[in-house]
Chain A
Amino acid sequence: MDQTAMIHLQDVHKSFGSNHVLRGFSMAITKGEIVCIIGPSGSGKSTVLRCINGLESYEGGSIHVNGTLVDNKAKSIVAIRQNVSMVFQRFNLFPHRSVLDNVTEGPVFVKGEDAASAQKRGRELLARVGLSDKENAFPRELSGGQQQRVAIARALAMEPQAILFDEPTSALDPELVGEVLSVMRDLAREGMTMIIVTHEIAFAREVADRVIFMDQGVIVEQGPARETLAHPSHPRTQDFLRRVTHPIETD
């Protein structure tokens, strides 16, 4: 096993019934690295993230975070989840709690931090995602982009070593995508380790250190973001990028 890797997947297999979603998936993420996973829908991108976070179990291979095996039936999963936060496509904020309470929920109730210091830090995080004026609002009063920024603040509140983004902008109206990407860009600059499943190719080109192109449960091609996206070597990658960047053209 690669000792320098923070997150390490080795030959991971995962099936949903007869649907073999991950067919021997391996990757290693080092601290501070930003990796974008792209690929057609159904290729297993989200499943990779969900397995790292223990939201899905996997049948074969191994996943390690900081050297600890990810096993969502074991107690160790709690520590892993605190170190590796997740941001979801559909935000998944707690609708019965205010914006600030959404952010402080984890620190106070999971980590046992005292409420006052968690709130202070929560406000700082809300300021960081540009939502200082919304701390008392409820999620349903916010736009999708604002909700996703709260979700990012909630993830940051756990002081994670890495954040997994599962198509963070796919559920947003086009004009709201920018504000979320801009928050993520700031995080990238600050050195956060990030694994991002996305269809925003331009964003991947700009922010990612590495791009992984996935299809049918395996890595088809990977490499430095700019180079790989500009000159993909595999025909399936070429085809996918052409479709994504020029959606209107037909063959």
Chain B
Amino acid sequence: MQKFLADAAEFIPILFQGVVLTIGLTIGSLVISTLLGLVWALMRVSGVWALSGTAKLFVNFIRGIPIIVQLFYIYFVLPDLGITLTAMQAAIIGLGIAYSAYHSENFRAGIEAIDHGQIEAAQSIGMGWWMVMRRVILPQAIRIVLPPYGNIMIMMLKDSSQASTITVAELAMQGKLIASSTFKNTSVFTLVALMYLCMSLPLMALVTYLEKRFSSGQR
């Protein structure tokens, strides 16, 4: 234990650099994936054949390819097409696109769970498609979507470690680098695991809080 604490004091500052990148990566790709996921979901429920077909095709395409391959593609193949990105940019975009597929399915389920009668009632007072979405469907869908959304968020935090495969020195990568140079595998990977836990546990608490908040009062 004494030895572990000594190692911790030595490695935490280095690992912390990884934590910063992990958090940046997670937040960046969360924003991208949420917005893109919402776009796919709205396309899916638009009722316009071309839009819903495109979104469906795209989502299945993304879901069918491992995240790691998508990252390789963006980081190593796009430069051949003249698009060069930094490792961090590629990782944020790659994770963002990959996870937009999961968000989209979640959002779509939430939207489709709203009773169709309400949509008709909204239309019958003269609301257009977008206003029905904004005033009637989305405010209610949020409550349905939130718990799975939180879980996807936690999955993203953990999957951000895949960015290490395209040289982003996030937490997992930093851990591996220290471990391979010091051979203190036990201390290092225990610290890495604890640090991931320290980040995901508050997220889990946040999800629980939001679930409670949205379920009280109105339905």
Report which A residues bind B (CB closer than 8 A). 53-55, 78-79, 81-82, 85-86, 88, 90, 92-96, 105-106, 109-111, 138, 140, 151, 154-155, 158
Question: Do B121 and A82 touch (CB < 8 A)?
Answer: no
Mask, B181-214, CB within 8 Å of A = 1, is: 0000000000000000000000000000000000
Category for how many chain B residues contact A: 10 to 19
Q: Nearest B residue to A86 by beta-carbon distance?
A: B124
> For B126, what are the chain A residues with a Cβ–Cβ distance below 8 Å?
78-79, 81-82, 106, 110-111, 158
Question: Do B127 and A92 touch (CB < 8 A)?
Answer: no
How many angstroms between the C-alpha atoms of A81 and B121 in the bound complex? 11
Known contacts A88-B120, A109-B135: does B127 contact A96 (CB below 8 Å)?
A: no
The answer to the question of B219 belonging to the interface, with a C-beta cut-off of 8 Å to chain A, is: yes
Instruction: Pull 5 A–B residue pairs with CB atoms less than 8 Å apart, ordered by A.
Output: A88-B124, A92-B115, A109-B127, A110-B127, A158-B126
> For B165, what are the chain A residues with a Cβ–Cβ distance below 8 Å?
none
Q: Nearest A residue to B219 by beta-carbon distance?
A: A95
Question: Do A55 and B123 touch (CB < 8 A)?
Answer: yes
Known contacts A85-B125, A109-B131, A138-B219: does B118 contact A94 (CB below 8 Å)?
A: yes
Question: Do B121 and A93 touch (CB < 8 A)?
Answer: yes
> For A81, what are the chain B residues with a Cβ–Cβ distance below 8 Å?
123-126
> What distance in Å separates the Cβ of A36 from its nearest Cβ neighbour in chain B?
20
The answer to the question of B2 belonging to the interface, with a C-beta cut-off of 8 Å to chain A, is: no
Question: Do B219 and A96 touch (CB < 8 A)?
Answer: yes
User: Closest 8 interchain pairs by CB?
Assistant: A92-B121, A106-B125, A92-B117, A86-B124, A110-B126, A81-B126, A82-B126, A78-B126
